[in-house]
């Protein structure tokens, strides 16, 4: 919903409004991931009327991953045909239904269906969120706005655990689900993204939307002209059947290189324990602390560290290079995981006195800090930047498929892993896996900070994508025309 009299609001505030709609959705996603941590804990109590088996519990925590796959399959077609705005709006409906059904559930089947609905909506949004935020944002703000995805996850996890600690699980479910109502309202207040409108040949609507988000300064005008011209060239070169188009697409370096990078990014994201820890925080921290810290206190300790670090990452990602932040997070996480694993082994062997048996808690919290600082925000930031507009929907869908598959595999196997090799062995496996993914990404991942989406696309094509003086003069001309029109 665009209004004509918006110029008194700064472009940054308008971008922030649009981004906030996606942020509220991702807060809900964080709550979806973390809610089993409190739900299952309450259902294990003797007075609970709803009883679950261990198999039920692992499915309730992990079925989001399977449902994500279906959502991610739908997402590319929705993003391409319906647009970013309508996709964001529609994705709130299954998640709202899922939370409502969860609050009313009377048995394991209803819980599983509710979690599946949440996962389906999350799958659509997993592809739509980074694309939408990147297309809403100016290059100088894009890093910070994309980092809000990490902040949103951390906030949602904290909210779910706080509500689940203070409220009965049905009331907590309604409270967590309410964020999707706010998301729907904020998304509805914002216009469609300019790149999508340009891809559909809607030039006038694209200009109007672009000016709503970015104003009329020369750098924005030249970026707008390049966006429109590049889409005209793409439209003019489209030939042949859909199958031929797909075959040509997968051979292009500007498609397969970003897709390969994002596959490793999302494998790294999941194998670092990003979704396992929120789902199994209480039993994991009971093992790490050897029962010396109350379970709910240790859960909130993890949540607070994650939340504070996520706030910090919004500033760090915008100030430092993407690669710097990512590999800083990887190095901290690997060192902390291996140290925590070593301390747990030594404690189990009786090498650590009883008064110090809580010491593995320290490297565990450092691990939470490291993965939240670099491994949580950077994959989402890169996902919003790295795909060319022509393939953005398809590339996000394919890479998101790896995210959902790894989500299911890692969360479903976590209870078995904890039981068979303990938390110490699981930490060792995660630390080693993170290190291996980090080595691949060290050679594959380019730096994207401060570059326009067009310049990033040109990097993968292997051509020079700098904006030259001709485009600068075009932008200045457009600005002068706007000044004349405004009197």
- pLDDT tens for residues 202-212? 889 999 999 99
Residue with tokens 């565990």: 364
Helices and strands (H and E) in the chain: how many: 22, 0
Residue 271 is part of a domain; what is its CATH number? Answer: 1.20.1250.20
Residue 107: CB atoms within 10 A of its CB come to: 11
What's the CA gap between 138 and 135, in Å, rounded? 8
Contacts of 400 (CB under 8 A, 6+ apart): 68, 72, 75, 123, 126, 127, 266
Contacts of 68 (CB under 8 A, 6+ apart): 119, 120, 122, 123, 126, 400, 403, 404, 407, 408
Q: How confident is the model at residue 487 (pLDDT cuts 50, 70, 90)?
A: very low
Q: How many domains does the chain have?
A: 1
Q: How confident is the model at residue 477 (pLDDT cuts 50, 70, 90)?
A: very low
Give the SS3 label for residue 48: coil
* Choice between 48 and 375, residue whose per-residue pLDDT is larger: 375
Residue 226 within any structural domain of the chain: no
Residue 479 within any structural domain of the chain: no
DSSP string, 348-390: HTT-S-GGGTTTTHHHHHHHHHHIIIIITHHHHHHHHHSS-GG
HSE-CB for 282 with a 13 A CA cutoff: 16
Residue 385 within any structural domain of the chain: yes
> How confident is the model over 160-181, as pLDDT tens digits?
989 988 899 999 999 999 999 9
The pLDDT of residue 467: 47
Least confident of 49-63, 92-106, 437-451: 49-63
H/E element, 169: helix 169-177
* Choice between 9 and 237, residue whose per-residue pLDDT is larger: 9
Residue 462 within any structural domain of the chain: no
The pLDDT of residue 473: 44
The pLDDT of residue 343: 94
Mean pLDDT (the chain, rounded) = 84
Give the burial class of 23: count Cβ atoms within 10 A of its Cβ; 0-12 exposed, 13-18 middle, 19 or more buried: buried
Residue 220 within any structural domain of the chain: no
- Structural contact between residues 290 and 347, judged by C-beta atoms closer than 8 angstroms: yes
Domain carrying residue 267: 11-204+248-450
Whether the predicted model's global pTM rises above the 0.95 cut:
no
The pLDDT of residue 46: 84
The pLDDT of residue 252: 81
**CA 224, 229, 235, 238 torsion-angle sign:** negative
Highest-confidence range of 62-71, 280-289, 322-331, by mean pLDDT? 322-331
Position 300 pLDDT exceeds 80: yes
φ, ψ of residue 359 to 5 degrees: the values are: -60, -30
Residue with tokens 């929120």: 278
* Choice between 486 and 337, residue whose per-residue pLDDT is larger: 337
Q: Across residues 115-130, what is the average pLDDT?
A: 91
Count of residues making up the chain: 487
Q: How confident is the model at residue 362 (pLDDT cuts 50, 70, 90)?
A: very high
- Structural contact between residues 411 and 65, judged by C-beta atoms closer than 8 angstroms: yes
> How confident is the model over 437-476, as pLDDT tens digits?
999 999 989 888 878 777 887 888 777 655 444 444 444 4
The pLDDT of residue 475: 43
What's the CA gap between 115 and 135, in Å, rounded? 30
> How confident is the model over 378-420, as pLDDT tens digits?
888 888 788 877 777 778 778 878 888 888 888 888 888 888 9
Residue 70: CB atoms within 10 A of its CB come to: 15
Share of the chain above pLDDT 70, in %: 90
Position 27 pLDDT exceeds 90: yes
> How confident is the model over 223-274, as pLDDT tens digits?
888 888 877 666 555 555 566 666 777 778 888 888 889 888 988 988 898 8
Q: Across residues 55-66, what is the average pLDDT?
A: 85
The pLDDT of residue 466: 53
- Structural contact between residues 213 and 470, judged by C-beta atoms closer than 8 angstroms: no
Residue 218 within any structural domain of the chain: no
Residue 409 within any structural domain of the chain: yes
Position 104 pLDDT exceeds 90: yes
The pLDDT of residue 87: 95
Residue 353: CB atoms within 10 A of its CB come to: 9
Residue 61 within any structural domain of the chain: yes
């Amino acid at each position: 919903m665009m209004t004509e009299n918006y110029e008194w609001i700064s472009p940054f505030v308008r971008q922030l409004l649009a981004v906030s709609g996606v942020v509220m959705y991702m807060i809900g996603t964080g709550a979806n991931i973390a809610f089993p941590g409190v739900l299952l804990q309450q259902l294990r109590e003797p007075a609970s009327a709803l009883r679950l088996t261990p198999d039920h519990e692992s499915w309730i925590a992990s079925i989001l991953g399977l449902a994500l796959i279906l959502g991610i399959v739908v997402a590319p077609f929705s993003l391409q045909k319906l647009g970013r705005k309508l996709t964001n709006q529609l994705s709130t409906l299954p998640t709202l239904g899922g939370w409502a059904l969860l609050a009313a559930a009377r048995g394991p089947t209803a819980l599983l269906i509710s979690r599946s609905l949440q996962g389906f909506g999350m799958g659509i949004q997993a592809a739509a969120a980074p694309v939408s935020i990147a297309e809403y944002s100016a290059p100088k703000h894009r890093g910070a706005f994309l980092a809000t995805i990490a902040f949103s996850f951390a906030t949602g996890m904290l909210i779910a655990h706080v509500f689940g600690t203070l409220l009965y699980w049905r009331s907590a479910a309604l409270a967590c689900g309410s964020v999707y109502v706010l998301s729907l309202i904020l998304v509805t207040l914002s216009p469609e993204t300019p790149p999508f409108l340009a891809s559909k040949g809607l030039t006038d609507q694209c200009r109007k939307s672009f000016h709503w988000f970015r104003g009329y300064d020369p750098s924005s005008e030249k970026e707008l002209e390049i966006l429109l011209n590049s889409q005209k060239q793409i439209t003019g070169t489209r030939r042949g059947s859909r199958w031929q188009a797909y075959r040509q697409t997968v051979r292009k370096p500007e498609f397969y290189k970003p897709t390969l990078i994002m596959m490793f990014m999302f494998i790294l994201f999941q194998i670092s324990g990003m979704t396992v820890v929120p789902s199994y925080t209480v039993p994991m921290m009971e093992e790490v602390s050897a029962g010396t810290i109350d379970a709910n206190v240790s859960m909130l300790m993890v949540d607070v560290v994650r939340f504070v670090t996520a706030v910090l990452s919004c500033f760090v990602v915008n100030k430092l290079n993407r690669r710097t932040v990512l590999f800083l997070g990887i190095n901290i996480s690997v060192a902390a995981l291996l140290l925590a694993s070593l301390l747990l082994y030594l404690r189990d062997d009786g090498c650590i006195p009883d008064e110090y048996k809580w010491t593995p808690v320290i490297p565990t919290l450092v691990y939470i800090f490291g993965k939240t600082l670099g491994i949580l925000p950077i994959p989402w930031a890169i996902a919003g930047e790295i795909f060319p507009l022509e393939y953005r929907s398809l590339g996000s869908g394919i890479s998101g498929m790896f995210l959902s598959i790894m989500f299911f595999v890692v969360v479903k196997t976590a209870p078995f892993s904890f039981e068979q090799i303990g938390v110490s062995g699981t930490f060792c496996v995660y630390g080693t896996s993170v290190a291996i993914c980090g080595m691949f990404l060290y050679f594959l991942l380019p730096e994207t900070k401060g570059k326009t989406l067009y310049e990033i696309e040109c990097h993968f094509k292997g051509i020079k994508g700098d904006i030259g003086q001709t485009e600068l003069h075009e932008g200045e001309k457009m600005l002068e025309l706007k000044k004349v029109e405004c009197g």
